[in-house]
Structure 1
């Protein structure tokens, strides 16, 4: 279980997160909604270990991981800007995390190609990411986030660049994979319909505090 306990964080001398607590069980998706600048992405970065809260703790299965570096948490964080490697083709972008885990490159590439095929990009596995549209880059980023089967999946507006049909398809795909893999997932989105389609619990972050929506 992923737990954020009494998180406090200031930004430019103003309180951004004020005593925020949140728990996500394995296989569950929790949605965070709120206005731009309300602190949703900051909360994800704290969960991922990319920022340290001013107060409070991050726990995984009861263990305090607040000071644990990001690479040892086994979480996946997907940003809005994709963060793909322009010098690698699609296959190696997706396979990168598996190779880092020690899986043989050939096996990692095979798994990457299979996942790209499920995302409708199997025939373009050898292309560079610079040749893709924004929506296609987002699909590659989604595949890369999923392939290592992280313990927790932290998603920041993951479907924002996709057309309606593909967005709905990937919402279903993600929901299925999250449940099957037993990942704890946090979804940041501005789209309440999307949040309700994917998440068992929904919260709105405003004024530095969480308010339950459902």
Structure 2
């Protein structure tokens, strides 16, 4: 189980220099069990993406703890957490092929490149991208790039899956298809998942439980 205990974080305005930090996350609490998805709603600037970065280990909390399976991982480096994080901007490697982008996490885990590429090709087939395996990611459309990022996030079967507006660049039909795919995968691999989205329909379709981030705390919605 993923657990956040009393997480606090302030946002420091860039200007003016004398402006006081603004509370962003205040004594935030959350539990997400394996196979569950906690859907987080809230306006831009409310701290949703910051919360994902804290869970991933990319930003430290000012106070509070992040635990997984009862172990305190607050100060564990991101690469040792076994979590997968996907933001809106894809974070794909422009110098690598589509296939090697998807295989990257497996190679980092120590798999041989040939075996990792074979698994990547299988994953690309599931996303309808097998024809682009040898292409560079910059040759793909925005929606296709997002599907590559989704495939890369899932292929390592992460312990925790962190999604920040993962379907925002996709058309309605593909959004629906991938929502269903993710719900099935999350249940199959028993991943604790946090989904950040502005789309309440999407949140309700995917979220086992839903919250709205308001005034630094999570208010249960369902």
Give the TM-score band, short-chain normalised: over 0.9
Over aligned residues, Cα RMSD in angstroms?
0.5
Task: List aligned pairs for 1:65-76, cutoff 5 A.
Answer: 65-76=73-84
Q: Which residue of 1 aligns with 2:62?
A: 54
Q: Which residue of 2 aligns with 1:211?
A: 219
Equivalents in 2 of 1:199, 1:11: separation in Å?
Answer: 28
Q: Matched residue of 2:28: which SS?
A: strand
Equivalents in 1 of 2:181, 2:47: separation in Å?
Answer: 27
Task: List aligned pairs for 1:32-51, cutoff 5 A.
Answer: 32-51=40-59
Task: Find out whether 1:104 has 2:112 as its counterpart.
Answer: yes
Report the alpha carbon displacement of residue 124 of structure 1 after superposing the two structures with TM.
1.0
Task: Find out whether 1:4 has 2:12 as its counterpart.
Answer: no
Task: Find out whether 1:158 has 2:161 as its counterpart.
Answer: no
Equivalents in 2 of 1:4, 1:80: separation in Å?
Answer: 23
Q: Which residue of 2 aligns with 1:146?
A: 154
Q: Which residue of 1 aligns with 2:190?
A: 182
Task: Give aligned pairs, total.
Answer: 214
Q: Which residue of 1 aligns with 2:31?
A: 23
Equivalents in 1 of 2:197, 2:129: separation in Å?
Answer: 25
Report the alpha carbon displacement of residue 33 of structure 1 after superposing the two structures with TM.
0.3
Equivalents in 1 of 2:8, 2:104: separation in Å?
Answer: 34
Q: Matched residue of 1:76: which SS?
A: strand
TM-score by length of 1: 0.99
Deviating above 3 A after TM superposition, structure 1's stretches of 4 or more consecutive aligned residues are none
Q: Which residue of 2 aligns with 1:192?
A: 200
TM-score by length of 2: 0.96
Equivalents in 2 of 1:52, 1:102: separation in Å?
Answer: 27
Report the alpha carbon displacement of residue 104 of structure 1 after superposing the two structures with TM.
1.0
Q: Which residue of 2 aligns with 1:127?
A: 135
Report the alpha carbon displacement of residue 142 of structure 1 after superposing the two structures with TM.
0.2
